[in-house]
Amino acid sequence: MLQSLFIINQSSEICLEKHWTKNISKAVCDTFFDALTKYAAGDVPPVLETPSNSLIHILRNNLYFLAVCANEISPLLVIEFLDCVNSIIEDYFGLATETSVKENVVLIYEILDEMLDGGFPLATESNILKEIVRPPNFLQSLTDAVTGKNTIVGSTLPINQLSNIRWRRSGVNYTNNETYFDLIEKIDAIIDRSGYVISKEIYGSVECLVKLSGTPDLTLAFTNHRLIDDANLHPCIRFSRWKRERILSFIPPDGKFCLFNYHVSSLSPISLPIILRHNVLLREHGSRLDVVVVPKTMGKPVENVKLTIQLPPEVLNITATPSVGRTSFDVTTKLFQWDIGRIEEKSVNPSMKSSINLISGLTNLPSNPVILVNFYIPQFVVSGLKIARVDMYGEKYKLFKGVKYATKAGQYEVRT
């Protein structure tokens, strides 16, 4: 059972607090604030124990969502709910930031009132919540201010709230019936100085935008579905059919939602989409840092390519000459960045040569730095997973279907 929820910024300021069972003093957060001083941002243990409560939190967009719970509760349940709160706020107001939370405190209170009943999750589907608590509308807010009425919160319970398809609102009707699927993969990798892959993990998701009238029943099938090692399914998906046939069968929510997340088996023979050829030499005289970026994307262009290198504190300055893009070096933090931008298909591999000046008189030479690589590859999935077909049943209108693919870098680390 959740007793309270606090939304806290990076300065340890409480932006919002909500209590369900009884008002709890803000002093309950002191244990969490103490942990913030001991750990770096993002490294605070997700579960902290106090003599009377458990403090469970997630970090999203520089905001901490902190739940105060009774000790006997599943931490994963609370983390899932906190992530749902963040997603709902994003769905209502765009990105969940400190500004959007502070500007919409009253509406967020109304949403949280509907999401939990006595501290237990009740309504967590965006479609249903938007029927109960209407999204902000300037004209409606102006009308409410003039009439003195509150039309933000609906007066009746949505029809589908207690049905078997509680995630889909009733009475949906569109002139053009269309659905879009975005299959996006993120790759985490660690490559040693000789080019050997120490570890690689691929995580993917299918993001949907559904604008279909009535109550359509969709099926989605994949090619190479055996690549999927583990999956997190949206409640609308029929689990028995997925387990039996590896086909997604579902009545979709209306609007934007994440259909499912998956992990690709680490045993799959998958090539890395970006290779770095580097030559790093740190010594008292003649230190160098040379890098060549080699895309392995089967001719697909690569966007938002950026290399970030945290140089050691012994570095005085670096003079870089890139073949494309621009470089920057922060003398204070010793952070060097090479912003390449877009690498076109069949273009010459981007390269950079640089000379480094170290502090004179060093007795111990610094160790070589790590290169963090960021990139985005449209219409390319590194695992090879594809959506084979999308079929609809239960409705007779013509359906327009669109599918897009993308791969982006997660924690992509090259050791030099």
The domain segmentation of the chain, as residue ranges, is: 2-124, 178-270+380-415, 274-378
CATH number of 2-124: 3.30.450.60
pLDDT of residue 46: 92
pLDDT of residue 123: 81
pLDDT of residue 250: 95
- Residue identified by tokens 């209502």 is 92
Tokens of 23: 């008002």
Tokens of 232: 């997190």
User: Closest Cα to residue 44, out of 17, 25, 71, 64?
Assistant: 64
Distance CA 303, CA 323 (A): 16
Distance CA 373, CA 204 (A): 19
Q: Does domain 274-378 have CATH number 2.40.50.200?
A: no
Instruction: Give 273's DSSP letter.
Output: S
pLDDT of residue 157: 53
The DSSP line for 71-97 is SSS-HHHHHHHHHHHHHHHHHHHSS--
CATH topology match: 178-270+380-415 vs 274-378:
yes
Distance CA 354, CA 238 (A): 56
Tokens of 153: 């919160």
* Phi, psi angle pair for 79, to nearest 5°: -60, -40
Distance CA 87, CA 257 (A): 9
Tokens of 233: 């399914």
Distance CA 316, CA 366 (A): 12
Question: What 3-state class would DSSP assign to 18?
Answer: strand
Distance (Å) of CA 27 to CA 5, 6, 34, 101, 105 = 13, 12, 11, 22, 21
The one-letter amino acid code at 322 reads P
Under CATH, what is the fold of the domain 178-270+380-415? Answer: Immunoglobulin-like (2.60.40)
Distance (Å) of CA 190 to CA 198, 351, 383 = 5, 21, 17
pLDDT of residue 152: 57
What tens-digit pLDDT sequence spans the chain (416 residues)? 788 999 999 888 999 999 988 888 888 899 999 998 888 777 889 999 888 889 999 999 889 999 998 867 888 999 999 999 999 999 888 888 888 899 899 899 999 988 888 878 888 888 778 878 888 764 555 455 455 555 555 555 555 555 677 788 778 899 999 999 999 999 999 999 988 999 999 999 999 999 999 999 999 999 988 889 889 999 899 999 999 999 999 999 988 889 999 999 777 778 899 999 999 998 878 889 999 999 998 889 999 999 999 999 989 999 999 999 999 999 999 999 999 999 987 889 999 999 999 888 777 888 899 999 999 999 999 999 999 999 999 999 999 999 999 999 999 999 98
- Residue identified by tokens 């993990």 is 201
pLDDT of residue 138: 46
Instruction: Give 148's DSSP letter.
Output: -
